[in-house]
């Protein structure tokens, strides 16, 4: 549905010369009436004054809940007639992008260095940036602007590489090997847009949590001993972290990094064992709710007849201790996630507005763009036995959802 903009000709607008002179308030009233991110991109590309109207829009972050995120498909290259300059990249390539609200749109694409895709793991999107990691090296890439930022190398401990394995007891060998494996996987998040004052990047790898003040030369480290953080989300102005045991913590940034455990009950359908592959859980921020989604398999023997259950719990912090509460229905919301555990999940309100489905989980995957699953008591829109199990640690970047950085930036 397209909104009609009607301007009375009987009362001329004083000083109005052309479309670029439209009042900022009028332009900003149009944003929420657009039907997709694609339309919003076209809107702000019209002229500089229209683009400035978006960057100065105080409710800009709410647009991320009105429109579905864009889907980046790093497995599908596209040809663009005028590729951007390399901006420090060795081999900048164009990859296909899909807008679920406007799937017929052509020409949507992003740019990512092919070498980064082939040699680094994607730790997930954050504020429109993609964070890549490999052996202590991080790169922050804006896929729609083609720019990148390279923080200093993480100060990882290299003692295990120098060990004489023949002189180490078996149990310690196992522990050292576990450290080697866990340091190969990490999760990461920005605390604010890159250009914002006091922006930090948080990286969890193995038994340590690192923080980098954007533009600085050093990292600060919090050693977490027996805690391995696998996810960090921003919720109501604070950062919430979850470890392998599904225990959650508040993460304090100042005066120094600090984890504070949040005492909660355990949802009845969730095991505390991180070794149980039949249950996968992750956090999702959905409006003013912090959700935990649990994907459960009804049998440890996987086959086409095995059924899966996706339950939703919200965190009730009004009680002491806080409590996870079952949600039978997720009214008027849809959730978007990827097949990689590190992939950030997004929520979208009233998806029927753009042709989507409420109480639905959209999982990005390959080769098909995504699969749809019902949440809670909602039945699956379609059954695809070959794609029932998802959310694993992936070596290379998988299709994922992202909002452009312009929806977070304060600059023109």
DSSP letters for 335-380: EEEESBTTSPPEEEE-GGGGT--TTEEEEE-SSSSEEEEE-TTPPP
Backbone angles phi and psi of 289, in degrees to 5:
-115, 140
Judge if 319 and 341 occupy the same domain.
Answer: yes
Q: What is the pLDDT of residue 297?
A: 66
Strands 279-286 and 219-223: unpaired
Residue 72 within any structural domain of the chain: yes
Q: What is the pLDDT of residue 268?
A: 62
Domain CATH for 379: 2.120.10
27-45: burial string, b at 16+ Cβ within 10 Å, e else: bbebbeebbbbbbbbebbe
Residue 170: in which H helix or E strand, if any? helix 170-182
Judge if 34 and 74 occupy the same domain.
Answer: no
Q: 352-408 pLDDT, tens per residue?
A: 989 999 999 999 988 889 989 888 777 777 656 555 556 677 778 899 999 999 888
Number of domains in the chain: 2
Residue 262 within any structural domain of the chain: yes
pTM of the predicted protein model: 0.84
Q: What is the pLDDT of residue 292?
A: 92
Residue 348's nearest CA partner among 56, 57, 100, 29 is 100
Judge if 54 and 97 occupy the same domain.
Answer: no
Q: What is the pLDDT of residue 368?
A: 85
What's the mean pLDDT when you consider all of the chain? Answer: 81
Averaged pLDDT, 258-286: 75
Q: 109-168 pLDDT, tens per residue?
A: 999 999 999 999 898 899 999 999 988 899 999 999 888 999 999 987 654 344 444 544
Q: 67-87 pLDDT, tens per residue?
A: 999 999 999 999 887 766 666
What range defines the domain where residue 29 resides?
19-58
Residue 11 within any structural domain of the chain: no
Q: How far is CA 348 from CA 62, 79, 167, 188, 372, in A?
A: 10, 31, 55, 22, 14
Judge if 250 and 378 occupy the same domain.
Answer: yes
């Amino acid at each position: 549905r397209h909104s009609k903009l009607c301007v009375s000709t009987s009362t001329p607008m004083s000083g109005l010369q052309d479309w670029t002179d439209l009042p900022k308030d009028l332009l900003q009233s149009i944003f929420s009436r657009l039907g997709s991110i694609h339309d919003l991109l076209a809107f702000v590309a019209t002229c500089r004054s229209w683009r400035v109207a978006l960057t100065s829009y105080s409710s800009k972050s709410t647009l991320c809940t009105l429109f579905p995120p864009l889907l980046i498909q790093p497995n599908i290259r596209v040809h663009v007639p005028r590729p951007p300059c390399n901006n420090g990249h060795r081999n900048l390539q164009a990859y296909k992008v899909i807008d679920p609200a406007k799937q017929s749109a052509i020409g949507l694409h992003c740019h990512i260095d092919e070498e980064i895709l082939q040699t680094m793991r994607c730790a997930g999107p954050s504020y429109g940036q993609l964070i890549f990691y490999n052996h202590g090296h991080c790169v922050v890439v804006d896929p729609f602007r083609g720019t990148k930022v390279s923080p200093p190398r993480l100060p990882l401990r290299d003692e295990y590489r120098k060990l004489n394995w023949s002189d180490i007891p078996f149990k310690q060998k196992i522990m050292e090997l576990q450290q080697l494996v866990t340091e190969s996987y990490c999760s990461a998040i920005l605390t604010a847009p890159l250009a914002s004052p006091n922006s930090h990047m948080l990286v969890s790898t193995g038994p340590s949590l690192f923080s980098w003040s954007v533009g600085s030369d050093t990292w600060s480290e919090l050693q977490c001993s027996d805690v391995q953080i696998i996810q960090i989300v921003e919720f109501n102005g604070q950062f919430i972290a979850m470890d392998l045991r599904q225990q959650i913590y508040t993460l304090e940034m100042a005066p120094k990094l600090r984890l504070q455990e949040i005492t909660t009950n355990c949802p009845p359908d969730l095991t505390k064992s991180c070794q149980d592959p039949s249950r996968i859980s992750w956090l999702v921020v959905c409006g003013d709710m912090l959700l935990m989604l649990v994907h459960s398999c009804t049998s440890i023997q996987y086959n086409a007849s095995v059924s899966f259950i996706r339950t939703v719990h919200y965190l009730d912090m009004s009680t002491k201790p806080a409590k996870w509460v079952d949600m039978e229905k997720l009214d008027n919301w849809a959730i978007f996630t990827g097949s990689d555990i590190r992939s950030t999940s997004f929520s979208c309100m009233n998806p029927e507005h753009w042709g989507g489905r409420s109480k639905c989980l959209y999982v990005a995957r390959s080769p098909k763009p995504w699969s749809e699953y019902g949440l809670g008591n909602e039945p699956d829109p379609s059954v695809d036995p070959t794609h029932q199990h998802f959310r694993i640690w992936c070596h290379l970047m998988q299709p994922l959802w992202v909002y452009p950085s312009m929806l977070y930036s304060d600059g023109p």
